[in-house]
Structure 1
């Protein structure tokens, strides 16, 4: 059972089955090799990234974890029965191609619709894949998030829908505001590694390096080249590392559209109606259908046309059901008040016949209506301007909840609230690389990294960053110095080095009490955490004393429904547990659960910890049925992020099951 700190978060990183190469594009080829077949170089002209396997189990494990790719799968006839039934219904499997010396193999076409056919040469397989890729090339990546219309009273970033919706809005602010630095060369170097051996793409990269300028961003974006494919994949999967490397291009493309929008003498008052045909995954479409009247955020640059019939062609006319739905977006735009720049780019585009109108990323629209006509869903949108009252309330609340520190941390705070801790580490490391000469921000990001690594159970890395902060601190008895000592104490506590933890925490307490007494909220947190260390050292009297001191300050300065009360209630419950008063412990843990359910996203790891504590207490009461129910809930949450505590939860479930059998 774990005590709770007032400021905690957890994360884990999921890795694929031993193959660490990253695909920067969406499409990839997976080939299950039998009898010495080899991948031909001609495939890389169509799809750059490929993986070759000779072991069925390793292959299945790999494709199962490739959840952000579109896989074109090639296999030999001899392994058809072993692998097609297993992989066919995976969303990431786009098409399957069977390589056989003859075409005698029979398969149920209706059951295995993704099987494109049987081919007797590798060249024939490549031709089929090239044709399929060409068909879908015009259907551009389209990344969205939805949010229902909300009253101001119900807005909260603890609601995962709302947090996810605002995530991209803040990401745009970060990408457009930070310095470009060496991003262009970093991206070019990364692309050369990705396309090593692909002579066609390497030549394009060379051309890009030599000829690219700010004024050619639109031209490059509308070309079917590496820069377009990498950008849209990174936006779709929210790849922070790649987005930061490609930020120079994102910034140029946005600013070029902004300049064209502002200087457009032909821009008219009134409204403009544009269209976009699109295949959407069935689950993505369902999000839109469930939010009529709410908001749709378009999390990529958006290509549209004023030619309705042309847009319909790209909808697919319902032929990709049930996995994909055909969509025709019809968007009405107030040309003078649109909150994102746009421009008719026919004169700049490589596709002059499409009469393309390109919008910058982050458009927010109101979902007005949805209607199915001849197999195509017609979705009517209106672009929202700053006068939209619901959107204004949401943005105001975001500012109040996130923008209470320096201008570089709101995005990090949002990631933390969403439980996106892997992205949080990426963000902080990238920020450190950008601000090597800013001492104040170096301190801030080293501190955040130390706290996050502690939650990741990567304690040595946490100590490296936090002790770096002590070297950078200019004032010995400042509040910042006290917080650093307190955070080092937390890490030593996590490492079960309680004497060192107490040493650092008492240093922090001394600084605040004697030099910074005005920081009552910070002192309350420190009292709570010192109590936690005393509790672990089995000094329950001192633990209870410090928890009570923490609670007294919270009652003085916080509203009674504040989520911070959960940590202290949890820790008082643990003292009751250690004293053997399981009934009182359970009562207090249930109070913690009530607070957590109102203030945390449904899969936050702190909620798992609370379910675990409730279940563990019920185990001691020999109430095994309810204990099993609550620890199973903890396990389900931990599995969502592959959190290491899931192994402990599984062991407890096995123990409970054994006790129930014996009983």
Structure 2
């Protein structure tokens, strides 16, 4: 048991073959190391050996002639990357409070997860007593619970765990930013970095089709100043026939990139000879070229560090900060869950906020409104109505009465009746909320126009199936609302270009030698194209849920 925990802390024992197979198939966003007896190997292998979630299969057998017949399969994730969502997440998490409560929450999670693993528990105790914010990079380079847990959360985009580790993620990002400022003062203008990996043919073809586009990581990207270190990993022997060796050559122009943060971390590392350079969350790179290097017998992918992706994200984020002074960051974080369709996780998150002592009294009603929005997106209109009405009643019974805030749940109650076909009741509520929005925000504000859009939909409900718009807590997707709202189209030139985003998956793996294999890092290929859209086309678009 202890030996298994040294490989991976989470160990599950199964004694029933069918239950074991069902459990394996239920895992969708994790990789599994499967250890099975020789007796059961034939039965279980035919059921699971092609599953994407299986990383490696080990057959425990006493017959020496069979001990080398280990089957290993690897398949990098093909899930879509939510580039803009991840940039939104980074923006919010870096501004969340990271005091003692956040640190204690992270420590308690780690103590529970690594219970029984004395080696990691010792590191957790050391972290609890000795850690300071300026030690984040050093702790990240250690092969301990922290590195494993943070990268697992980033790799799987597990929002609940990412929120749990916000304390350390923020410190690490801030430390990298500070080191980047030191790097800029050294006078280097062009820095060449390298990353070696074994890549699947299919993934390479995807990248080859995207020359000139951007690639973005969803985690902290590890590279090296040493080409030899990268080549060591890229050219290591492999029995995989579906893969090829790849070397990333990354050019960083210090004078041209402000938002792509990276830092030399060799002085903080237990392995300084690796000359490791670490990129911050969500760094973006332009794919310059992809060519076969005959001399090195590998594919050479040239990248340029780029600010293009961050500039697009910055515009989106600035739009979504509208009226943010009215909404706490904890609620904004929860709204991101709804934004990316993780409704069950959002419900779990909001329920935990309700139980926390530090949650502000004024936020309780807003949380109920957001819970209603999660149920609305799940299609449970009755449950959504229950929480919208609870939010509205809490606001109206408060001292003083929160008329301004009440317009949000009032609008959402209206859309429930709208969806139920009770149009007169819906219109009555819409008109009531519009009066409040106009009083407190003005006729031109997005909140007012959003409700006007719902009335526009109401008037055409007899001939169209267009859905009304939700009013959550804020305009977390304000850019989407402005594009889809007929009420706004008259005030915007019909020929105004709009950025559209197509996001595909690729992946990058670490440069470090085999004795310190880093986690696989998912990346997104981002295409940025402009499309001229007429008002008539906008009116025909399906309205999206916005904050």
| TM-score, length-scaled by structure 1 | 0.60
Distance 1:525 1:347, change over 3 A: same
1:192 aligns with one of 93, 111, 121: 111
| Matched pairs, number | 466
The offset of 1:327, in angstroms, is 2.6
1:94 aligns with one of 47, 55, 58: 55
Identify the residue that residue 486 of structure 1 maps to in structure 2.
411
Alignment partners' CA distance in 1, 2:247 and 2:288: 13
Which secondary structure does the structure 2 equivalent of 1:42 belong to?
helix
1:406 aligns with one of 318, 324, 329: 324
1:229 aligns with one of 148, 152, 160: 148
Q: Map Cα deviations across residues 206-254 of structure 1 (whole Å, 9 max, x no partner).
A: 1111111112211110011110011111111111111111111111112
Choose between structure 1 and 2 for higher RCO, CA contacts under 8 A separated by at least 6 residues: 2
Q: How does 1:645-660 map to 2 (within 5 A)?
A: none
Identify the residue that residue 183 of structure 1 maps to in structure 2.
102
Alignment partners' CA distance in 1, 2:209 and 2:347: 33
Alignment partners' CA distance in 2, 1:446 and 1:219: 41
Alignment partners' CA distance in 1, 2:169 and 2:464: 51
CA contact (8 A) 1:447 1:484 kept: yes
Identify the residue that residue 454 of structure 1 maps to in structure 2.
376
Which secondary structure does the structure 2 equivalent of 1:193 belong to?
helix
**Comparing 67-76 and 180-189, the one that deviates more:** 67-76
**Comparing 405-414 and 330-339, the one that deviates more:** 405-414
Q: Does 1:472 align with 2:433?
A: no
2:86 aligns with one of 168, 178, 186: 168
Q: Map Cα deviations across residues 268-304 of structure 1 (whole Å, 9 max, x no partner).
A: 2310111122344555544433211111112211222
1:268 aligns with one of 167, 178, 187: 187
Q: Map Cα deviations across residues 318-343 of structure 1 (whole Å, 9 max, x no partner).
A: 72534554332111112344323333
The offset of 1:65, in angstroms, is 2.8
CA contact (8 A) 2:404 2:436 kept: no
1:114 aligns with one of 68, 72, 76: 72
Distance 1:76 1:514, change over 3 A: closer
Q: Map Cα deviations across residues 15-72 of structure 1 (whole Å, 9 max, x no partner).
A: xxxxxxxxxxxxxxxxxxxxxxxxx332112221111112222222221232332222
The offset of 1:416, in angstroms, is 5.4
CA contact (8 A) 1:485 1:505 kept: no
1:83 aligns with one of 30, 35, 44: 44
Identify the residue that residue 525 of structure 1 maps to in structure 2.
454
Identify the residue that residue 309 of structure 1 maps to in structure 2.
228
Q: Map Cα deviations across residues 359-392 of structure 1 (whole Å, 9 max, x no partner).
A: 222211111111233553221111124xxxx547
Distance 1:282 1:529, change over 3 A: farther
Alignment partners' CA distance in 2, 1:535 and 1:392: 38
Distance 1:462 1:247, change over 3 A: farther
Identify the residue that residue 12 of structure 2 maps to in structure 1.
51
| TM-score, length-scaled by structure 2 | 0.72
Q: Does 1:380 align with 2:312?
A: no
Q: How does 1:140-539 map to 2 (within 5 A)?
A: 164-181=82-99, 182-264=101-183, 267-280=186-199, 284-317=203-236, 319=238, 321-322=240-241, 324-338=243-257, 339-373=259-293, 374-385=296-307, 391=309, 394-395=312-313, 398-399=316-317, 402-406=320-324, 419-422=341-344, 425=347, 436-437=359-360, 439=362, 443-458=365-380, 459-460=382-383, 463-464=386-387, 466-473=389-396, 478=403, 480-491=405-416, 506-510=428-432, 512=434, 516=438, 518=443, 519=448, 521-526=450-455, 528=457
Distance 1:359 1:516, change over 3 A: closer
Which secondary structure does the structure 2 equivalent of 1:333 belong to?
strand
Which secondary structure does the structure 1 equivalent of 2:390 belong to?
helix
The offset of 1:190, in angstroms, is 0.8
Distance 1:208 1:266, change over 3 A: same
Which residues of structure 1 form unaligned runs of 5+? 1-39, 116-135, 137-141, 146-159, 537-550, 563-593, 606-663
CA contact (8 A) 1:270 1:335 kept: yes
Distance 1:489 1:318, change over 3 A: farther
Which secondary structure does the structure 2 equivalent of 1:347 belong to?
helix
CA contact (8 A) 2:37 2:61 kept: yes
Alignment partners' CA distance in 2, 1:503 and 1:230: 50
Alignment partners' CA distance in 1, 2:41 and 2:437: 73
CA contact (8 A) 2:414 2:430 kept: no
CA contact (8 A) 1:371 1:377 kept: yes
Please provide the CA RMSD for this pair: 4.3
Which residues of structure 2 form unaligned runs of 5+? 466-484, 497-536
The offset of 1:186, in angstroms, is 0.6
CA contact (8 A) 1:483 1:508 kept: no
